[in-house]
């Protein structure tokens, strides 16, 4: 996602502060050249493909459908409801941090979105020269995070299809630990994030291999390369289809893997793989031995016995041979 693929149509800045009786909200105009505009555009592009955000779809009977239909426009309705709800939660739950809110209605990748970011305050020192010409430090507890720092609370609501991606962190609200943005504000039952689904399936495959195969390391090394090839070709990961390909040499393993995946609710639909996740899957494989030795291997070498080889003896112990090294650079 690039700035030129985004058109911001409306934007609202607001403050979440327990010392204020209500939410202060201001409609703003953002350009690609002004400082505020650059900041918001950088957030929109940075988190659009974030693989740790969780996904759900707003259905006709969901609470957020009613919110979208309340006011003169879906954007105005979402701004009013979300801002006031967070303000109310903040006043009665000190674990939720104060900060600023950014609401944006934008055309992104040729689809309409409502996007929200909550920027939690940071405390830092600022340096000034006082009236006497002396250097002084003052503590400021309302510093916003820079564009390069991680934002953990946000959502992207696709108005074209009703899908929403949410990121938030656990907080104590009304005495209970929860993801307050998804659970209390949006009132949505969120599914696993893309990253969580891929990691859960990798765990299922690894467990199956260890339970069924004798030559475990060799089979596990095939996993990442097979996933990478399928994702490059299709852009999705169909768990049952993958199992049929990967475990074609062992029907018991295939059935066991599919059953485990069903228990984890990974077979309901293909896992959509974003470009960001695809890059991660195509990166190098990290191998950690029982003795604590770590080896990082490019994906293309995992099954190339001319470069990298596993030898497993009758006791199950594994030796790793790295061949044709040339010279050691570090």
Confidence class of residue 126 from pLDDT cuts 50, 70 and 90? confident
Q: Structural domain boundaries of the chain? A: 3-185, 194-322
Q: Give the separation between CA 224 and CA 136, rounded to whole angstroms.
A: 55
Which tens digit of pLDDT belongs to each residue from 24-48? 888 998 888 889 999 999 999 999 9
Pick the range with the lowest mean pLDDT from 69-73, 218-222, 271-275. 218-222
**For residue 102, what pLDDT is reported?**
95
Q: Under a CB-based contact definition with an 8 Å cutoff, are residues 45 and 2 in contact?
A: yes
Q: Give the separation between CA 242 and CA 108, rounded to whole angstroms.
A: 32
**For residue 301, what pLDDT is reported?**
72
**For residue 52, what pLDDT is reported?**
85
Confidence class of residue 330 from pLDDT cuts 50, 70 and 90? low
Q: Give the separation between CA 193 and CA 105, rounded to whole angstroms.
A: 23
In the predicted model, what is the mean pLDDT of residues 81-85?
Answer: 93
Whether residue 248 is predicted with pLDDT greater than 80 in this model: the reply is yes
In the predicted model, what is the mean pLDDT of residues 148-158?
Answer: 93
Whether residue 216 is predicted with pLDDT greater than 90 in this model: the reply is no
Confidence class of residue 273 from pLDDT cuts 50, 70 and 90? confident
Q: Which residue has the tokens 């994030």?
A: 193
Query: How much is the mean pLDDT over the chain?
Result: 85
Q: Give the separation between CA 155 and CA 113, rounded to whole angstroms.
A: 10
Beta strand 6-16 pairing with 99-108: antiparallel
Whether residue 3 is predicted with pLDDT greater than 70 in this model: the reply is no
Whether residue 166 is predicted with pLDDT greater than 90 in this model: the reply is yes
In the predicted model, what is the mean pLDDT of residues 158-171?
Answer: 89
**For residue 42, what pLDDT is reported?**
93
Confidence class of residue 120 from pLDDT cuts 50, 70 and 90? very high
For the full predicted model, state whether its pTM sits above 0.85.
no
Q: Give the separation between CA 159 and CA 108, rounded to whole angstroms.
A: 11
Residue 132 φ then ψ, to 5°? -85, 0
């Amino acid at each position: 996602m690039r700035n030129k693929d985004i058109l911001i149509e409306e934007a609202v800045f607001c403050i979440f502060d327990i010392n204020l009786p209500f939410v202060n909200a201001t409609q703003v105009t953002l350009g690609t050249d002004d400082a505020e505009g650059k900041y918001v555009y950088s957030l929109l592009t940075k988190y659009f493909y974030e693989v740790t955000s969780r996904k759900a779809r707003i259905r006709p009977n969901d609470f957020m459908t009613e919110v979208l239909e309340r006011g003169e426009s879906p954007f105005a309705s979402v701004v009013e409801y979300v801002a006031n709800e967070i303000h109310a939660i903040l006043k009665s739950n000190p674990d939720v941090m104060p900060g600023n809110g950014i609401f944006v209605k934008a055309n992104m990748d040729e689809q309409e979105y409502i996007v929200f970011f909550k920027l939690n305050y940071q405390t830092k020192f600022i340096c000034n020269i006082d009236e006497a010409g002396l250097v002084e430090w003052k503590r400021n507890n309302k510093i916003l995070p820079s564009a390069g720092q991680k934002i953990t609370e946000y959502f992207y609501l696709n108005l074209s299809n009703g899908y929403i991606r949410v990121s938030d962190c656990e907080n104590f609200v009304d005495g209970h630990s929860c993801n307050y943005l998804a659970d209390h504000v949006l009132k949505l039952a969120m599914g696993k994030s893309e990253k969580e689904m891929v990691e859960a399936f990798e765990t299922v495959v690894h467990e199956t291999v260890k339970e069924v195969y004798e030559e475990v390391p060799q089979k596990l090394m095939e996993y990442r390369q097979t996933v990478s090839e399928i994702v490059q070709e299709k852009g999705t990961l169909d768990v049952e289809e993958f199992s049929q390909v990967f475990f074609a040499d062992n029907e018991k393993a295939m059935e066991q893997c599919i059953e485990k995946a069903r228990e984890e609710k990974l077979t309901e639909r293909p896992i959509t793989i974003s470009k960001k996740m695809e890059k991660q899957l195509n990166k190098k494989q990290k191998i950690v031995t029982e003795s604590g030795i770590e080896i990082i291997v490019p994906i293309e070498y995992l099954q190339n016995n001319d470069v990298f080889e596993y030898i497993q003896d009758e006791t199950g112990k594994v030796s790793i041979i790295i061949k044709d090294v040339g010279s050691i650079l570090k």
